Structure 1
């Protein structure tokens, strides 16, 4: 009888511990047929991530008591058309150090401490300045409709993510105000000329309440004689019948070029689907005529269920003054135009 009581106590304690922690497997598989047309070469391909980025992830949280919790997030990018994993960089100074594309947690790899003070997050993560580009883009910076403020950006390796990052997020009970600060390390030796390469600091602050969401971000990543500064501001307003989205973005390379762009677009719900439309532009300020790319994109997403959707997107980009932006892997000559379209299906789990 005594042994039975002890066994029951052990099982009860084990159950309580399990109730305080949890691990979730999640992901997205997005298959896309993409076609690109350019003045030099066209391309037809089965690819991925035309609507949402394909990924495989694990996340978990443990209740530590007293209002504290610990959590982790491991998320790997997938190229499900050929079965590879995504690429990553290790020091904020290259754009794909793992070019072979083995399965790595390149999208996010963080551990956090959470409480009433907010969240302290350590590891590889989105940069604050990227959040405004993707949140305030009707296409979520995915597929052929992706805003030119990202496609043409001069922002360098930390435009989207930073490795070796120390981040802090404000708590979510501030009446709609939100914000984050992130410091990231290039991890170079102290006795080299470029010892600060890949180091950076970024800030984001915003307010979301009712139909309005507005946020601004600023960042600086250090490189020898070529620091990269970025600033952007985004806004979304929900009119009920449609959501208006817009953002402006500026990149400045020390002793180099400057780039400025903006986007205006909308999301329009239609039954079980949604129409997406955007016009975006980006211009690089250099000696002589400034290269400029203007893009118009139109798409439709139809939700077959809460987790499965089919979609189609068409886009055209007009290049001026030597710009040569091309869509969906095609190639176009300087100053010539390009067009493309996506058809796909996305399933999330």
Structure 2
């Protein structure tokens, strides 16, 4: 009996060890900090520390568990840091997990993921931006077409499906996110006579999102396209009642030739206006490239931004260099110039730190440079 008890205990211990070996949890993060100087036509300028010049500072936890039979479960919790002030994404608040908070099930069928995550349309934009959507050189310069939309990079309350990784280079995903609004069709049935408060009340469609992306990557070549709709995203413009869907469509391609990797991104953003305001569209065309040299990487990009119903288009020129001190530590420097047309006053943005870009005079330019260090752990 003693021998049986000992054997049983050893069996239970072995099962526990096997279970521990089949699951894992990891603490990870990025700390990015630098100093930026931004100036604008008209003489205004600002200098100070910034965060996110080559990657958003973040702290996260992720893990997987092998469920057997080719199935697995996973979780991912990730929050943004503003390390220049030692706070969460908004100074004075604690760390949250607004960057990503998901639980998933995976297998030969692909992956089913639930929670807050990137929208497929933003993933596609990020993939073919030489700067990866961070820093002075990024394609994501302005929210000209996104005024009133709110966040468009991520969705909350989402359900997403990702294709399996063994489809011969084919990849993609689809996502639906719930706005979690009560049924209230009467609010938008007739805008006439409604007070501004009633007109801007949420409807059953407000906050819903649906979209997807499909791509093909084989060898040095990669191309993909995406489309997504944020339903009833825009509630008003000024004092006029305005209910509209915000739609994004983009396509990108890259080719890694070894000595240089050119990239192309075209994106069209549209707000379908109803009840007083005309439709609005915003187009972005970016051409860039990266080139590895020794222990560093040069990068450059030219982008053109066009918007409907106005001549206030603008162009952006960026060049930068990343030097790898190790696999996890980088030094970087960026230089960018944005040139407005017409009476436009768009300024360089997309730094998480405390440097506020001065607004140029009408039709003027916005310039900036940044030097920084990024460490991944």
One fold, TM greater than 0.5? yes
Preserved CA contact (<8 Å) 1:281 1:295: yes
Aligned to 1:37: 39
Preserved CA contact (<8 Å) 1:77 1:104: yes
Distance 1:178 1:153, change over 3 A: farther
1:79 to 42, 67, 82: 82
Instruction: Establish whether residue 309 from structure 1 lines up as the match of residue 309 from structure 2.
Output: no
Aligned to 1:92: none
Preserved CA contact (<8 Å) 1:322 1:334: yes
Aligned-partner Cα distance in 1 for 2:179–2:46:
36
- The runs of 5 or more residues in structure 2 that have no matched partner are 188-202, 236-242, 274-278, 350-355
Segment drifting more, 261-270 vs 33-42: 33-42
Preserved CA contact (<8 Å) 1:290 1:321: yes
Shift of 1:15: 0.6
2:124 to 126, 129, 132: 132
Larger radius of gyration: 2
Shift of 1:162: 0.8
- Residue 214 of structure 1 aligns to a residue whose secondary structure is strand
Preserved CA contact (<8 Å) 1:110 1:122: yes
2:363 to 329, 335, 343: 335
Provide, for residues 78-108 of structure 1, a one-character-per-residue CA deviation record: whole Å limited to 9, x for no partner: 1111111125xxxxxxxxxxx8543110111
Shift of 1:6: 4.0
Instruction: Establish whether residue 49 from structure 1 lines up as the match of residue 52 from structure 2.
Output: yes
Aligned to 1:95: none
Instruction: Establish whether residue 243 from structure 1 lines up as the match of residue 243 from structure 2.
Output: no
Aligned-partner Cα distance in 2 for 1:334–1:201:
37
Shift of 1:4: 4.3
Provide, for residues 176-232 of structure 1, a one-character-per-residue CA deviation record: whole Å limited to 9, x for no partner: 000100111111111363221111111100000011000000111111621111110
Aligned to 2:196: none
Aligned to 1:197: 206
Aligned-partner Cα distance in 2 for 1:347–1:112:
28
Distance 1:113 1:162, change over 3 A: same
Aligned to 2:97: 105
- Residue 166 of structure 1 aligns to a residue whose secondary structure is strand
Q: How does 1:1-349 map to 2 (within 5 A)?
A: 2=3, 4-40=6-42, 41-86=44-89, 101-148=93-140, 151-152=142-143, 154-155=145-146, 156-191=149-184, 193=187, 194-223=203-232, 225-255=243-273, 256-286=279-309, 289-328=310-349, 329-331=356-358, 332-349=360-377
Aligned-partner Cα distance in 2 for 1:128–1:304:
33
Preserved CA contact (<8 Å) 1:125 1:161: yes
Shift of 1:141: 1.0
Aligned-partner Cα distance in 2 for 1:120–1:140:
25
Aligned to 1:96: none
Preserved CA contact (<8 Å) 1:145 1:298: yes
RMSD between superposed Cα atoms in Å: 1.6
Shift of 1:44: 1.1
Segment drifting more, 152-161 vs 331-340: 152-161
Shift of 1:158: 4.4
Segment drifting more, 71-80 vs 6-15: 6-15
- Residue 126 of structure 2 aligns to a residue whose secondary structure is helix
